Chains A and B, each alone.
Chain A
């Protein structure tokens, strides 16, 4: 798995590449939390355009980051999920608390 971080003022954009399962969730959690703990971030954008697979371990990481952001008054967005990843996000109900967008340009409330 590869993670690419882009920090624009108080917006952190994390582009994830690869498959998200229990093997890489610890790495994903600690890498993102490292930014969230050290910077003043109000908006976390998870770009899943290059993610080919996600299971419930991966969903757990996303929910965990959502809770962390929400506790500090921040917001989380998911962009670019392919149809099979989007199906899992919708099936789990994550889309009811974290909005899904096709791309970063579609997010208008940042």
Chain B
């Protein structure tokens, strides 16, 4: 698939940047022919991924870096890659289980939301190196929907 447009954002691992990150990615993705509801779902997935980086990856250390690459592919797909250089995930399979959280008191719904509201979720992680979360979501254009 061809990249029609992309952005790279990089920001400090601060809780106040979670809203910035999801709003920024949501605004960029809205160039595609998608509904407001679909944009809200993308924003939720980004919010979960960035929160994971801050809470689990960096254990809330504020002076770390999170980067997000967002690309629009062939006018119908958005690809989002969230990357941190945190502690990494020990057991990815377990982390992807619904309601699992490494921290007591948390709901463990982050990856469940990402999986449920996006078409594709890929997690690459190395202990001590960091985590890369790739999300993809495609939209039928309104014209295509009319034909189905």
Binding site for B on A (CB under 8 A): 19, 21-23, 53, 55-57, 59-60, 63-64, 83-84, 88, 91-92
Closest partner residue, chain A, to B108 (CB atom): A56
Task: Say yes or no: B51 contacts A53, CB within 8 Å.
Answer: no
- Flag if A92 contacts B44 (CB, 8 Å): no
| B118 within 8 A of partner (CB) | no
Measured CB to CB, the residues of B under 8 A from A are 15-16, 18-19, 22, 37, 40, 43-44, 47-48, 51, 54-55, 105-110, 113, 116
CA distance A88 to B113 in the complex (A): 9
Q: Chain A interface mostly helix, strand, loop or mixed?
A: helix
Interface secondary structure of B, over-half rule: helix
A23 to B113, CA, bound (A): 19
Q: Of B15, B43, B109, B116, which one neighbours A22 at CB under 8 angstroms?
A: B15
Whether the pair B37, A56 counts as a contact (CB closer than 8 A) is no
27 CB contacts below 8 A, A to B, read A19-B19, A21-B15, A21-B18, A21-B19, A21-B47, A22-B51, A22-B54, A23-B15, A23-B16, A23-B18, A23-B19, A53-B43, A55-B47, A55-B51, A55-B113, A56-B48, A56-B51, A56-B106, A56-B107, A59-B107, A60-B106, A60-B107, A83-B37, A84-B37, A84-B40, A88-B44, A91-B113
Best-surrounded residue of A21, A64, A91 (most CB of chain B within 10 A): A21
Assembled-state Cα–Cα distance A105/B110 (Å): 33
Whether B18 lies near A91 (C-beta < 8 A) is no
Tell me which residues across on chain A come within 8 A of B108, comparing CB atoms.
Answer: 56
Contact A22 B55 (CB under 8 A): yes
Pair A56/B109 contact, Cβ less than 8 Å: yes
A56 partner residues in chain B, CB cutoff 8 A:
48, 51, 106-110, 113
Contact A63-B15, Cβ < 8 Å, known A22-B54, A56-B48, A56-B113:
no
Closest B residue to A85 by beta carbon equals B40
